Amino acid sequence: MTENKELVLLEDISAIIAGSHEVEKTLDRITELITSRMGVDVCTIYAHEGDELILKATRGLRPEAVGQVSMSIEEGLTGATFRSGSPLNVQDADEHPEFKFFPGIGEDALGSYLGIPLIHRGKTIGVLSVQTKIHRTFSPDEVRMMVAAAGQLSGIIEAVIHTSDKQPGGALRRDSFLRGTPASGGCGRGQLLVMTDEMDLDALGECPCESMEEALEHFEDALVKAEEEVKAIHDHVSSALGKEEGAIFHAHLMMLRDEHLREKTRTLIKNGAGPVAAVVRVAHEYIDAFLAIEDPYLRERASDVRDIAHRIVSHLRPEGGDSETNFDAPVIVVAVDLTPSQASQIIQPNLKGVVLLKGGVNSHTSILCRSAGIPAIAGAGGEADETLTGSEGIIDGNTGILYIDPSPHIVEEYSRLEDDLRELDEELRAHLDEEVKTLDNEPVKLQGNAALLSDVPRIVEFGAAGIGLYRTEFPFLIRTDLPDEDTQYEIYSRAVKGMGGLPTTFRTLDIGGDKPLPYMPITHEENPQLGWRSIRISFSMEELFRVQVRALLRASEHGPIRIMFPMVTDPGELKKARQIVLEERGTTGIPDSREIPIGAMMEVPSAVVLIDQLAKHADFFSIGSNDLAQYVLAVDRGNAIIGHLYDTMHPAVMRTINTVAEASKASGTQLGICGELSGKPLGVAALIALGLRDFSATPSALMKIRRLLQCVDSKELAALKPAILSAGSPEEVRNIVREALKKGEVPEMLWR
């Protein structure tokens, strides 16, 4: 097997799914393709429904067995594959102790078996298997090929299976679901509203002018009106969502005031171009420049330029200005893309979701949706079909799926989920006043992660003990120029004041890699996740680093703060960063009596190896489980082909975290965790087992984690530690923890 064959198989599977029209034929074609490419005699797809595995498709077994053959997850080689969550490669299938024979389906003469679990978002949803008549062991290349195929299939097969449920004749409309990238979590239900206005600048009519002077006058007048509108939007968004979100439109103001942009437009008008044509031509120059950049964040800025140009042109036309959009009933908006201005207009109580066919998760629209708590999906593909307007829809921003005219089964499932979440919310709020400690009275610190000032009130509302991670890069990312010391000081001060005396832990700039600054030229890197990013940029641009440190130190006058540094790899880096803080502390006049702890993120394997040396220079450590898992597993979590290999509950990650926990305890260094693992109930339970007692989670996860901690016995969980550390797969780790929670007093919604 070659890498090329593997990629061709993945591409062909994608092509089959993209052309899906009927569920049964789609699954049948996939099994046919795999059978042919793998050179096997049988391929099957089983789906987990209820307590059984149901045969959904086969090539090589009797077709009439589809839908008729089922087994318990405790039965057969397929059940064993499902339970283990790992590939099962068997040379002599009929001699294996887990083998179960199903008479009459055509597997009498089969010899070898290879089963691959279908895992979607950490949950096993079925099994993909192949078999041969000859007795042989499948090669590592064959196993890898099947794992890659299963990784690509898992999420899509889940959607195909669910959407197909009980539809007449198994018909699957091409548009019965759309799948994109999750951009903002949550679920919503409403009528679809397809917005086809993509702000096509080339389709805008010209403004009639009798002279060049009149054209220039119209242009200057349009600039003034556009600026007034953007100011109004800036003030509205700043008030409704937060000052940092409002900064998106401050960036628009800066573009509008860009004298270079204005003068280029004036020159074109003076040379005979109409004002609309001049604005559009200059806008296209900027748009093309942004689109030519490989970085996804900077490419998204093309949408901002289009937004500004459209706003100027709208005031060059007779009707002028924005038209209001009001929703009288729950809606899910589907659009090719939305500019930030359009997004700010549609964010209202009846907006239940946003689906962007082209937009990305880094777009300002996606950012606004996350801030407003609106479920959103980006990059769903296809074209805006106006005939879908009025259709019923369910959006799942957690999985990136939009169900169109969903089956009764899907509606029932999501209605049940809404009821469960509502009941859970009521139960969680009922326990907010209770102390955060386990059933055996073990105290646990629970803090919140913040990226925006709007996160701070929610962290306080949910009873957190402080901010365990304040991501300072967001104000840098949404501006077109570098925020100065006073601007940073104001943001940090508002966060500290908002916490009312509770500590705030600020992480210094974690930029580069997948988070470049739009105004900072970064040379193309083959692997930016291993390149010029985080503390490395701070050291390379030391004055930028010192400005941020001074702003943070000044903010300490309003309440307790801690400062930690990202991607520290060795003691020398931590000593250098600490020395810079000490030097700037002297320049800002911070009294010696004011304690400002200094810490390091534990997210690089070298830091784990050298933790005993780092502990000599750190007041605390904080585990960044996202990057730690990425580096320990050597998986770029943004790579679609291998992304399924990324799992923060992988046994290797568990062992690494355990190493950090034991070393921190030995050195007496305070240890917390602030990655996404600390916002997942199963993850937190596993971390309690490993000895961690300090967690920082996103605001949306705080109540769940708070209640989980109140329902578990730390000693009982600690007994799971040997099993967790000896587990062979992420699914095995989850099963160990899940079974323990099932037996306890933990609400089902917290471990399901």
DSSP 553-565: HHHGGGS-EEEEE
For 213-237, the pLDDT digits (tens) are 888 988 898 899 888 888 888 787 7
3-state secondary structure of 10: helix
Dig out the tokens for 507 from the structure.
């992480």
3-state secondary structure of 677: helix
For 103-162, the pLDDT digits (tens) are 667 666 678 999 999 887 667 889 999 999 888 889 888 888 888 788 767 755 665 555
Asked if 491 and 475 touch (Cβ cutoff 8 Å), the reply is yes
CATH class of the region 3-174: alpha beta
How many Cβ atoms sit within 10 Å of the Cβ of residue 506? 23
In 3D, which of 62, 57, 56 has the Cα closest to residue 32? 57
Question: What is the per-residue burial (b if ≥16 Cβ within 10 Å, else e) of 284-312?
Answer: bebbeebeebebebbbbbbbbbbbbbbbb
3-state secondary structure of 589: coil
d(CA 478, CA 460): 25
DSSP H or E stretch at residue 141: helix 140-164
Residues with catalytic function = 364, 674
For 520-532, the pLDDT digits (tens) are 555 555 666 676 6
Predicted confidence (pLDDT) at residue 634 exceeds the cutoff of 80 = yes
Dig out the tokens for 6 from the structure.
């593997």
Tokens 């060795």, located at residue: 570
Predicted confidence (pLDDT) at residue 285 exceeds the cutoff of 90 = no
Asked if 165 and 405 touch (Cβ cutoff 8 Å), the reply is no
Q: Calculate mean pLDDT across residues 508-528.
A: 62
Asked if 41 and 65 touch (Cβ cutoff 8 Å), the reply is no
The confidence score (pLDDT) of residue 173 equals 39
Considering just the CA atoms, what is the radius of gyration of the chain in Å? 28
Q: pTM of the entire structure?
A: 0.60
For residue 394, the 8-state DSSP code is: E
Dig out the tokens for 634 from the structure.
């050597």
How many Cβ atoms sit within 10 Å of the Cβ of residue 432? 13
Vertex 595 angle, CA 591 and 597, to 5°: 135
In 3D, which of 32, 98, 106, 41 has the Cα closest to residue 71? 98
Distances in Å between the alpha carbon of 734 and those of 2, 125, 170, 455, 686? 33, 14, 34, 30, 8
Dig out the tokens for 556 from the structure.
């300490």
Fold equal for 3-174 and 175-411: no
The per-residue pLDDT of the chain, averaged, comes to 82
For residue 693, the 8-state DSSP code is: -
For residue 679, the 8-state DSSP code is: G
What does the CA dihedral 240, 245, 247, 250 come to, rounded to 10 degrees?
-60
Range scoring the smallest mean pLDDT among 290-299, 362-371, 421-430, 639-648: 290-299
d(CA 402, CA 334): 10
Predicted confidence (pLDDT) at residue 417 exceeds the cutoff of 80 = no
| Confidence bin at 705 (pLDDT 50/70/90) | very high
For 3-51, the pLDDT digits (tens) are 456 556 765 676 676 555 566 777 888 899 899 888 899 999 998 887 7
What does the CA dihedral 558, 562, 565, 571 come to, rounded to 10 degrees?
140
Instruction: For residue 483, give the amino acid letter.
Output: P
Question: Which string of DSSP letters, residue by residue, matches 420-458?
Answer: HHHHHHHHHHHTTTS--B-TT--B-EEEEEESSTTHHHH
The confidence score (pLDDT) of residue 244 equals 60
**CATH code reported for the domain at 435-751:** 3.20.20.60
For 484-497, the pLDDT digits (tens) are 899 899 999 999 99
Domain edges within the chain: 3-174, 175-411, 435-751
DSSP strand E in 294-441: where? 331-335, 351-356, 376-378, 392-396, 401-404
How many Cβ atoms sit within 10 Å of the Cβ of residue 543? 7
Contacts of 459 (CB under 8 A, 6+ apart): 447, 448, 450, 467, 499, 699, 702
Architecture of the domain whose range is 175-411: Orthogonal Bundle (1.10)
| Confidence bin at 245 (pLDDT 50/70/90) | low
d(CA 49, CA 610): 47
d(CA 638, CA 630): 10
Beta strands at 351-356 and 376-378: parallel, antiparallel or unpaired? parallel
Asked if 529 and 630 touch (Cβ cutoff 8 Å), the reply is yes
Share of the chain above pLDDT 70, in %: 82
In 3D, which of 607, 615, 514 has the Cα closest to residue 566? 607
Beta strands at 694-697 and 376-378: parallel, antiparallel or unpaired? unpaired
| Confidence bin at 2 (pLDDT 50/70/90) | very low
